[in-house]
Chain A
Amino acid sequence: MRGPRMSIGSRLEHNEGLFAFLLVLPALLIVIALYAYPLVFSLVVSFFRSDIRYPGVEFRGLKNYIDIFRDPDLVASFGRTIYFTVASLAIEMVVGVVVAVAFNSRFIGRPVARSIILIPWAVPPVVNGIIWNWIVHPKIGILNYLLTSVGILSRYKPWLADPSWALNIIVVADAWKWTPLVVLLVLAGLQAIPEELYEAARMDGAGATKVFFRVTLPCVMWPILVTLILRTVEAVRVFDIIFVMTRGGPANATKVTTFYVWEIAFKYHQLGMGSALAYTVTILIIALAVVYYRVMNRRVEF
């Protein structure tokens, strides 16, 4: 015995789940086509030799992944990537929190200062690289001009031609761009801290330092955690600023892992190997995010 047939409209009226799914479906299809499909496809490719220089593909299993760790240049690039990530994040977090705390207190011109600090963040990474290239230019850079003017340097220095300086300058350039993001997120966290907490701490006799470490910092741990994860993902996959400023030189001193991903996949046409390296970077990012989450989560529970 079949019951009375329901129209599509009636079914939708009664089935919230189906209705929600249908509404989400177009967006879901776009996400699958533009995001999930390439992700899965590149994962599959990472197990093959796929190289337009040679016709045909060949299944290699995990050999592409193993070869990554057999190549001393690639292993060294992981070291540079980690150095870049740690150094730029350290600058961004310390400077970002200090500036956010300063901007949280009242002073004349605060709204203007808060707006100005965001400008570097609005600058596209490529433009940021070009700006810093001019700043440190060996012939016409303002950094050389200032240092020679005050007598620190006797002659202009080619900063980016020196392997010991090149990566550090990129770190500073990157930190200059991204510190405003940290300021913005931490400042939002600071503004949400109830004034009563500060009053209670002061009544208990806590000084400014203690208030900062016992009240302020724990309260902004969540924004800091979110910022750390976001910035780690960005820093590990840094490419554009390095391409613009040094193209990986001098002598590979600024060649981070993602630079090799680009080189291997698009310059050498080894898509399989390039995809394997890209996935290795992804695994590194996920591992770092999990570590952050666990460490910070433990501290945040107060």
Chain B
Amino acid sequence: MRKGTALLLAVLLFLPLAGFAGGQKEKKAAEAETITALFGIDAAGKHMGERAAEFTAKTGIKVNLVEVEWDGMVNKQSVALTANEPTFDIVDCGSFMLPEYVPGGKYADISDMFSAADKAKFMEGMIDAVTIGGKVYAAPLMASWTIMFYNTEMFTKAGLDPNKPPVTWDELVAYGKKLQTKDTYAYTDSLGPGEYVTTAYFRWAKSAGAKISEWRGSKVYWLLDSPECAQALDFLKKMLKEGTMDPGAPTYVQQQIADLFGKGHASMFVNWDMMQLTFKNPEQTPFAGKIFAANMPGAKAGLTGSIEGHEYLAVPSPSNHKEAAKKFIKFLQTSEVQKKRAVGEGMTPVLKDLFKDADVKKVINLDVVFKAAANCYYRPAIAEYTQCSDIISAEIQNALVNNKDTKQALKDANDKCNKLLGW
């Protein structure tokens, strides 16, 4: 009988678990609808929680926010989509990510969110960038380009005109000689492995006037071994060698350089345009109000470079709350919310009308932003982009740490990427 009692106890121990599971289901059915939204921390901004609370107050739909740094966000999304699990109802993405998920049916078609009149409200090209086969798979949340920031206090101390940032590479080096001290570098950049160094390199190549890739039929062909691309890589190496650029740059990610620059460890750096407001905040930097935005210097006068990093929101196909998710996305796209994000967080809005708004213009230097937009590189929307990016990253770093010479590194990157794409 003692054995029977022991077995009974074992069964009883499992019963509460079963009861708990069943109870959870009943509880969920009774609760208000809840959506889970996965954001990169940059796209979410500091006040997404407030926006979500406003949305809940309006609609009764609760929003469970998951905010992680970009790499972590991509990983979480990838795992959930691979497993076909309805973990997330909204996911943050870039237009270049769509070819990874759309052919396999992982992102839902959300074309019904955009009438022709709706589409016309958005910045040119933003909806086209997420339209595949006539269907829209993601909704614009935030426009973004990289721009240069410079510390005018350091410029003044070095005897430089604070209203004249360098416009050519030669000027950058010349300014650097005046700006750099034992503890301060003239320039720093995020040349850490992966997408960081790849995108940094793309904007430098663009500022040399390079054509980095082109569409040939339905396939992308990389042009990384062009003289302009080599010129850009040589210039990065030169800056590292001469001490114009912080030698720690090959380890830095974007947030790190923003922190270092904000603390005065470097006089100039390139980052996303949304940082404009951050550098006006005395809580973020002792140089608040003394940090100005400018366009990246070019290989020669008239050239500049940037990279596009618009943030979009997609609805994963396995989501069980697609309509609620779309409602939240629509809410985030309203003029009211877009303005709040622009004025309160420095995020460039996606609605054209807001570019005329005086409050928005006060926060965002639209002249600089639009010039960056006109000279930016769009990462190719191909399913193999991430692999290509990692190949390019490794080869650029090979050149930067002198494992390979510039031409060999770029040739290897070009050959490997084009081979991967079937050339």
Seen from chain A, the residues whose Cβ lies within 8 Å of a Cβ on chain B are 8-9, 12-13, 19, 22-23, 26, 52-55, 73, 137-139, 155, 157-158, 160-163, 246-253, 263, 266-269, 271
Contacts and interface: CB of A to CB of B under 8 A. Distances in A.
B401 A52 contact: no
Contacts of A9: 1, 3-4
Contact of A247 (B6, B74, B192): B192
Given A55-B105, A267-B78, A249 B397 contact: yes
Contact of B386 (A8, A163, A247, A267): A267
A19 to B, nearest CB: 5
A249 B191 CA distance: 10
Contacts of B103: 53-55
B117 interface: no
B110 interface: no
Interface of A is mostly: loop
A271 B251 contact: no
Given A53-B383, A252-B193, 4 more contacts: A13-B4, A163-B401, A249-B394, A251-B397
B248 A139 contact: yes
A200 B247 CA distance: 61
Contact of A23 (B6, B79, B104, B397): B6
24 contacts: A9-B3, A13-B1, A22-B10, A23-B6, A23-B10, A52-B106, A53-B103, A53-B383, A55-B104, A55-B105, A73-B394, A158-B247, A158-B251, A162-B401, A247-B192, A247-B193, A249-B193, A250-B193, A250-B400, A251-B394, A251-B403, A266-B82, A267-B75, A267-B390
Contacts of B194: 247-249
Most chain B CB within a 10 A radius of its CB, from A9, A160, A250, A253: A250
Contacts, number: 115
A146 B75 CA distance: 38
A161 B78 contact: no
Interface in B222-262: 246-251, 260
A252 B265 CA distance: 27
Interface string B351-388: 00000000000000000000000000000000100110
Nearest to B188: A139
A172 B383 CA distance: 38
Nearest to A161: B250
B28 interface: no
B55 interface: no
Contacts of B192: 247, 249
A139 B246 contact: yes
| Across the A-B interface, the 9 shortest Cβ-Cβ residue pairs | A138-B248, A249-B193, A158-B248, A251-B397, A161-B250, A251-B398, A9-B4, A53-B383, A247-B193
B100 A53 contact: yes
B397 A250 contact: yes
A252 B403 CA distance: 11
Interface of B is mostly: helix
A52 B193 contact: no
Nearest to A157: B247
Interface string B163-197: 00000000000000000001000000000111001
B75 A266 contact: yes
B260 to A, nearest CB: 6
Contacts of A162: 401
A12 B2 CA distance: 10
Interface of B: 1, 3-4, 6-7, 10, 13-14, 74-75, 78-79, 81-82, 99-101, 103-106, 182, 192-194, 197, 246-251, 260, 265, 383, 386-387, 390, 393-394, 397-398, 400-401, 403
Nearest to A55: B104
A158 B247 CA distance: 6
A253 B193 CA distance: 10
A266 B80 CA distance: 10
A26 B81 CA distance: 31
A246 B256 CA distance: 13
A286 to B, nearest CB: 27
A246 B197 CA distance: 13
A54 B248 contact: no
Nearest to B194: A247
Contacts of B4: 8-9, 12-13
A90 B193 CA distance: 29
A248 B389 CA distance: 14
B78 A12 contact: no
B225 to A, nearest CB: 18
A269 B250 contact: no
Contacts of A155: 182
A251 B403 CA distance: 8
A264 to B, nearest CB: 9
Contacts of B99: 53
A23 B100 CA distance: 47
B104 A266 contact: no
Nearest to B6: A23
B101 A52 contact: yes
Contact of A252 (B249, B260, B394): B394
A23 B8 CA distance: 10
A271 B82 contact: yes
A248 B246 contact: no
B265 A250 contact: no
A269 B251 CA distance: 26
Nearest to B101: A52
